[in-house]
Amino acid sequence: MSVFDHPEFNDHEALHFFNDEATGLKAIIAVHSTALGPAAGGCRRWSYASDAEALTDALRLSRGMTYKNAVSELPFGGGKAVMLASDDAPKSAELFAAFGRAVDSLGGSYITAEDVGCSVDDMRAVQDQTQYVSGLPQSGQNAGGDPSPWTAFGVFLGIQAAVKVRLGKDSLDGLAVAVQGVGHVGAHLCKFLHEAGARLLVADVNGDNLKAVSSALPVEVVAPAEILYANVDVLAPCALGNILTSATIPKLKATVIAGAANNQLSTEGDGRRLTEREILYAPDYVINAGGIISVSREYYGGSSEDEVRADIEKIPQRLEAIFAEAAETGRPTNELADEYARRLIAAGRK
């Protein structure tokens, strides 16, 4: 398996592979950049089809974190951990303790938190082994805890901004929104959208998560294979990445795509495909930064929830600036966001 000539290798600073026989932990920690601070990004625990797939995910997700942290003006570089889920390594406090020791061995160049497949409790087990962790239970008046409600809040504000630009509407009342994935972020997002009067279509491959949302809110459940192509105003991808491709884009009906999932575009060129179809795409790492904003405030300490909220309320402004430049230049929003992030990172290096 090649690394330095891997298509997703993007001048990553370091790649670390961990193997712990006692717990079965197999993990990759990718440090993409520390130009703007320690590399921060969550830990994803997923059942990958192959080691190669896990490596690709670590490389792509860590680069995305560098860009996300830069455009969100956080004192962080970008990194990501992926843990290979398997029957040989069942979820346990010992597994996350082993992961915590792995994080600690990097001496603070990488800071972890929860992502897909991990919870606040898992991060507590990590905390027993290392100080380089965030997304822990809230203590006192300090901001912190599960970042997903904050991510959902930022996505909700971003959807409002995108709807205003693309559909000319100040309200989500009566609009149809398809939410792909109703896990941590998707479920919170559904609540915000419902309160704003949106009509919800949801899909998930996890029956429990689907049941939790459909018993709490009036939603139309759609088959996972259909949700991307639902006849809606807004598509909010909140599951996994690589969903906007040359095969899926021609069949989309939504004219706004704005959701939490990382790496929604399969390739950079898919952003242009969306532009050509006049679909307004909110760049994933710009709109989904609410969680890392909370993680950052928690990690450095001394912040209130109001400060986290105020930071997240800047997400729509960032999106509006990108949307305005896209309208003026005809260029895809993802390219503009990437350029902006790269400028900030280059300035930080100097």
Residue 68 is a catalytic residue: no
Question: For residue 27, what are the β-bridge partners?
Answer: 18, 83
Please return the burial class of 142, using the count of CB atoms within 10 Å of its CB with bins 0-12, 13-18 and 19+.
middle
Residues 110-129 that bind ligand NAD (CB under 6 A): 115-117
Cα–Cα distance list, 87 to 90, 91, 101, 306, 337 (Å): 6, 9, 21, 42, 39
- Give the active site residue among 26, 68, 80, 211: 80
Query: Of 4-12, 161-169, 205-213, 300-308, which part binds ligand NAD (CB under 6 A)?
Result: 205-213
CA atoms within 13 A on the CB side of 106: 29
For ligand NAD, which residue of 62, 112, 255, 288 counts as binding (CB under 6 A)?
288
Q: By C-beta, is 163 or 287 nearer to ligand NAD?
A: 287
Kindly determine how many residues on this chain lie close enough to bind ligand NAD according to the rule CB under 6 A: 27
Which tokens sit at 234? 């807004």
134 binds ligand NAD (CB under 6 A): no
| Residues whose CB is less than 8 angstroms from the CB of residue 11 and which lie 6 or more positions away in sequence, other chains included | none
Minimum Å gap between C-beta 5 and ligand NAD is: 26
Could you give the CA distance from residue 165 to residue 328 in angstroms, rounded to a whole number? 13
The crossing angle, in degrees rounded to 10, of helices 333-349 and 269-276 is: 140
Of all residues in the shown chain, the one whose CB is closest to ligand NAD is 183
For ligand NAD, which residue of 184, 194, 297, 318 counts as binding (CB under 6 A)?
184
For ligand NAD, which residue of 163, 252, 260, 322 counts as binding (CB under 6 A)?
260
CB-based contact 258:162 (threshold 8 Å)? yes
For ligand NAD, which residue of 93, 221, 240, 321 counts as binding (CB under 6 A)?
240
Minimum Å gap between C-beta 83 and ligand NAD is: 13
Q: By C-beta, is 1 or 223 nearer to ligand NAD?
A: 223
Report the largest interatomic distance among the alpha carbons of the chain, rounded to a whole angstrom.
57
Residues at the interface with ligand NAD (CB under 6 A): 115-117, 147-148, 151, 180-186, 203-206, 209, 224, 238-240, 260-262, 288, 291
